[in-house]
Amino acid sequence: MVEPKQALTVARLISRAYRQMGVTAINVGDKDLLYGIKFLQEEASHGLPLISANLIDPSTNLPFFPPYIIKNIANIRIAFFGLLSPDLEPAMQKATAGKIMVKDPVETTHKIMKSLSGRADFIVLLSDLGLDREREVIGTAPCIPFVLGGHEGSFFHSPAAEGQTVILQSFHKGLYAGKLQLIVENKFSPFQDEGRNDRIKRQLHDLDIRLQALKQSQNTPQNQNLSPIIQEISKQKAQLQKELRLSGVSSAGSNRFLWTMVPLDASFTEDSEAAEWIRQAGIR
């Protein structure tokens, strides 16, 4: 178990690294509350861009941190707002009792949408809600094109869709970095999944290999009843081929996105300055 003092040192190092990278926005998650609001406010005062729309100071009924940040990139205004789950663990509830208030995510989202009306071209939710609550929020605010979450620490092989909203998750403990690339043709159009075609092609390749193996096995006396399986896989293949053709037509001239998960491992060059911070802190 990590000693509390060392855990706080690690948290400060992570904060320092985020500031060094020039991160635009960091949503406050439930695990961040372990260090206390005062610690988070101190780091924010040093330039850490913490946001949270529904983490409220009960003494003032105002957010502890900015609810959103708007970034202008190539004349496209992208707003990032953050939400924390009200379903805190019992130990966390006890530790923060009377010190914080977490407002309803759906009600908070409605207020944020009004605040950002006419001020942003696209709105991105940085979420610590969990998938079920994210779907609940999206159900009442379908104008959010992207949700970037990570509460469960799940690995999404492909983006999840809820209507026209794309839900993306990052893996736990920073083992992967999610990379989202946007190609904007029309600010008023939904986004098409640029990586969908590649995934379909990989699926088709896998089905072809499986069909070939089944057809070869069918020639043996003990495997002559494989016809129903072959027919079912052939149907799957035909459906995917149809989706591939339609995808190519519908994506022409539309907004597109490409999502990739990049594994972080020893093959990446270590930042010498950050390595020196860690050495000076006495952390292995």
DSSP character for 66? -
**pTM score, two decimals?**
0.81
Report pLDDT for 253: 64
Taking every pair of Cα atoms in the chain, the longest distance, rounded to a whole number of angstroms, is 79
| CA 227/CA 229 separation, integer angstroms | 5
| Paired sense of beta strands 160-162 and 50-51, if any | unpaired
Report pLDDT for 1: 47
Choose among 3, 14, 92, 88: nearest CA to 54: 88
Report pLDDT for 214: 84
Report pLDDT for 221: 64
Per-residue tokens: 115: 């605040």
SS3 109: helix
Quick one: three-class SS letters along 162-206? ECCEEEEECCHHHCEEEEEEEECCCCCCCEEECCHHHHHHHHHHH
Report pLDDT for 249: 56
Please give the distance of CA 148 from its chain centroid, rounded to a whole number.
3
Please, what are the averages of pLDDT over each run of 10 residues along the chain (284 residues)?
A: 77 93 94 91 97 97 97 95 93 87 97 95 95 92 92 73 88 81 89 79 81 79 73 86 70 79 79 89 80
Handedness of CA 100, 101, 106, 109 (dihedral sign): negative
Query: What is the DSSP annotation of 213-274?
Result: HHHHHHTSGGGTT-HHHHHHHHHHHHHHHHHHHHHHHHTTTSEEEEEEEEEP-TTSPPPHHH
Per-residue tokens: 190: 């939904």
Per-residue tokens: 158: 């492909």
Choose among 151, 117, 115: nearest CA to 131: 151
